[in-house]
Amino acid sequence: MQSAVIWNEIERLRFAVVEGDWSPFQGVYINDSSADNKVLDQLSSLVYGEEGQEIIEFCEIEEFAKAIKLGAVAVECGFLP
């Protein structure tokens, strides 16, 4: 299964196509004090390495759209500045 991720950083949107089911992260924003810490930690570890560098590979919207057409689940999550 693939997930097509809309990574919302409030000031910009980025897109990624990743392996696995990211639907548990729908609507989850890193730095959101009202979110479950366990879920935030899981999402953070999928997107950022131990030193804070991005480890997710972002793509162009065309690749995102193609993944949706092929059946990927769409998920919107992100980072609150």
Q: Where are the domains of the chain?
A: 2-79
Q: What is the rounded CA–CA span in Å between residue 6 and residue 76?
A: 5
Sheet holding 29-30, edge to edge: 29-30, 73-79, 2-8, 13-19, 58-59
Percent pLDDT > 70 in the chain is 100
Window from 3-12, 29-38, 51-60 with minimum mean pLDDT: 29-38
Contact assessment for residue 80 and residue 30, using Cβ atoms and an 8 Å cutoff: yes
pTM: 0.92
When pLDDT is cut at 50, 70 and 90, the band that residue 35 belongs to is: confident
Window from 9-18, 27-36, 56-65 with minimum mean pLDDT: 27-36
